[in-house]
């Protein structure tokens, strides 16, 4: 990894951890529901640097964030880790395979919805051992779309700025 790339990755990971911890301190109307602003940094890493870098930013975000919050290896950690990695896998796959490619906002929406669906399924089958959580799925899908649009919009602006910077450095 080149020095500039390493520095940018460090800034993305640090920003993701900071927002992750900040968001955990905000009151939430729905248990375990967060806006997901820290995912902005993961989406930017995906679009500017690629899937491998997005995975690294996400891993640092989840591990360091949960460690700072004192909940490492808790059920919330398990939900966050699995949901986010499934989301990144789906976002990376859709970004690489769809023609024409999805926009940053479209990829963000897919990621947010897949994260929420994964977390509800894991909660229902492993932790709650009940299918009664199923009716919540529709709510979490709608929340995912809304949050995906917001994080995607912000991510798209950052991606545009970073790509313009990259072009000016190369050209």
Q: What is the CA radius of gyration of the chain?
A: 16
pLDDT tops 80 at residue 74: yes
Q: Distance between terminal CA atoms of the chain?
A: 21
pLDDT tops 90 at residue 43: yes
Rounded to two decimals, the pTM is 0.88
Reading the block at residue 56, the tokens are 């690294």
How many domains does the chain divide into?
A: 1
Specify the DSSP class assigned to residue 126.
I
Q: Which residues contact 109 (CB under 8 A, 6 or more apart)?
A: 144, 145, 148, 149, 152
- Residue 159 sits in a domain whose CATH number is 1.10.1760.20
Share of the chain above pLDDT 90, in %: 50
98: how many CB neighbours lie within 10 A of its CB?
Answer: 12
* Cα–Cα distance measured from residue 170 to residue 86, given in angstroms and rounded to the nearest whole number: 34
* Cα–Cα distance measured from residue 3 to residue 134, given in angstroms and rounded to the nearest whole number: 47
Which residues form the domain of 100?
3-170
Using pLDDT thresholds of 50, 70 and 90, give the confidence band for residue 102.
confident
Using pLDDT thresholds of 50, 70 and 90, give the confidence band for residue 128.
low
């Amino acid at each position: 990894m080149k020095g500039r790339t390493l520095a940018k990755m460090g800034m993305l990971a640090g920003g993701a951890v900071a927002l992750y911890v900040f968001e955990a301190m905000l009151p939430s109307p729905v248990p375990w529901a967060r806006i997901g602003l820290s995912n902005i940094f993961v989406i930017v890493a995906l679009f500017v640097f690629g899937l491998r870098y997005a995975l690294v930013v996400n891993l640092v975000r989840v591990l360091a964030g949960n460690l700072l919050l004192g909940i490492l290896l808790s059920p919330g950690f398990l939900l966050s880790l699995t949901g986010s990695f499934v989301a990144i896998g789906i976002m990376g796959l859709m970004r690489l395979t769809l023609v024409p490619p999805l926009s940053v906002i479209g990829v963000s929406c897919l990621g947010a919805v897949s994260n929420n669906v994964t977390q509800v399924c894991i909660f229902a089958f492993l932790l709650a051992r009940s299918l009664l959580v199923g009716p919540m799925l529709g709510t979490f899908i709608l929340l995912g779309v809304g949050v995906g649009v917001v994080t995607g919009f912000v991510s798209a602006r950052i991606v545009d700025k970073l790509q313009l910077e990259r072009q000016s450095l190369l050209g």
